Amino acid sequence: MSREKLEQLGIRLPMFPTTSVGSFPKPDYLMKARGEFAKKKITRADLDQAERKATEFWIRKQEELGVDVLVDGEMYRGDMVAYFAEKLIGFEEGGLVRSYGNRYYHKPIITGEVRWTSPMTVDWWKYAQSLTSRPVKGMLTGPYTVMDWSFNEHYPDRRATCLALAAPIRQEVEALIQAGAKIIQVDEPACSVRPEELPLIIESMHVVTDGLPAYFISHLCYGAFETIYPGMLDLPVDNFDMEFSNSAFDMLDLFRRHRYTKDISFGVVDVHTHVVEPESVVEERLRRGLEVLPKEAVWVDPDCGLKTRTVDEAIGKMEALVRVAKTFRT
């Protein structure tokens, strides 16, 4: 359990801390503003204003719901890889490819040496944190996932590409810490696509996190974890954030066979369904997790980002999980 580490960082959290993975749905006025900006009908400043308004909405909403560790909701992001590719030097925008479901994104192309020149997320983090006294997570996409979801035309192989990306991502982590962030999430949803590359994911995460004073979470999303567990426990982060509700709790069997040793952000609501789960269902899910996991290690959150749900569904799901976490505390 890394509660000690959090306390050293000055963060006190209740049992079963509640959080969310990162993204919330964009309100209608922001979707409209994004469309108008794309057609050059409004300025970047107008879009920025809509993004700030939506960020404030989600910060207030999370506070109202009683969430413990907040996120900015990613109102300024389109895609989790393209956003960073647009900000870093060395990338060009590629053609549209399908990511999941019916969503498409511009798969970035690495055409030169990747470099960090200025903070990519720090202003948003600062703005979100200025609106609340609760901790707000810094959020980045990890080097392995950026590598896997981009085309590479510059580096000799996947390893060189991944490690070249790790350095600028560490610079962003350092900038977040400098700004005051204490909990930083480095997402690696691609972590299980090639099990033989697990050592590379671990090596690159060392580059990103080693020696830095922050509590690190990695959202691993879903995947063939049976192919990389228990080896993945060597990733140098404090907390894995994983899907459980939509994957029939398969991971729990793995944890039974080989003890799980980190904190865990345990997904108790499914982000792929419009149905807002009743509290009894959420309770049952958390109870199943606690049959295997020590209660001190468990954070409570949704399976994944809620950006594909409606605003009301996202609020409903967060409300249910916060209520259940509170019940379990007593």
CA distance 143 to 150: 11
First to last CA, the chain: 20
For Cα atoms 304, 252, 287, give the angle at the middle one, nearest 5 degrees.
Answer: 80
Q: Which is nearer to Zn ion, 13 or 304 (CB)?
A: 304
Helix ranges (H only) for the chain are 3-8, 28-38, 44-65, 82-87, 122-130, 143-148, 158-179, 198-209, 250-257, 279-290, 311-329
Residue 184: which H helix or E strand, with range? Answer: strand 183-187
Name the pairing type of β-strands 89-92 and 109-115. antiparallel
- Whole-angstrom distance, CA of residue 317 vs CA of residue 306: 9
**Between helices 122-130 and 158-179, what is the axis angle to 10°?**
30
> Which are the contacts of 164, defined by CB distance < 8 A and separation ≥ 6?
113, 114, 155
Which residue lies nearer to Zn ion by CB, 56 or 263?
263
CB of 327 to Zn ion, least distance (A): 26
What does the block give as tokens for 108?
Answer: 């970035």
> Minimum distance between the CB of residue 187 and Zn ion, rounded to whole angstroms?
7
Nearer to Zn ion, 122 or 300 (CB): 300
Minimum distance between the CB of residue 265 and Zn ion, rounded to whole angstroms?
A: 11
Question: In terms of CB distance, is 221 or 321 closer to Zn ion?
Answer: 221
Shorter beta-carbon distance to Zn ion: residue 129 or 265? 265
Contacts of 246 (CB under 8 A, 6+ apart): 222, 267, 270, 271, 272, 303
**Smallest distance from the beta carbon of 222 to Zn ion, in angstroms?**
7
- Which lies closer to Zn ion via its Cβ, residue 5 or residue 262? 262
Closest separation in Å from C-beta 142 to Zn ion: 12
The pair of structure tokens assigned to 136 is 């707000």
Short-list 177, 175, 176, 152, CA closest to 164? 152
Burial class (CB within 10 angstroms; exposed 0-12, middle 13-18, buried 19+) of 91: buried
For Zn ion, which is the closer residue by CB, 58 or 155?
A: 58
Residues near Zn ion (CB under 5 A) are 221, 304
Question: Closer CB to Zn ion, residue 168 or residue 189?
Answer: 189
Q: Tell the smallest beta-carbon distance from residue 242 to Zn ion (Å).
A: 9
Smallest distance, Å, CB 267 to Zn ion?
9
Nearer to Zn ion among residue 119 and residue 289 (C-beta): 289
Q: Cβ of residue 273: shortest distance to Zn ion, in angstroms?
A: 15
CB of 219 to Zn ion, least distance (A): 6
Packing angle between helix 311-329 and helix 279-290, nearest 10 degrees? 50
Q: What are phi and psi of 320, to 5 degrees?
A: -60, -45
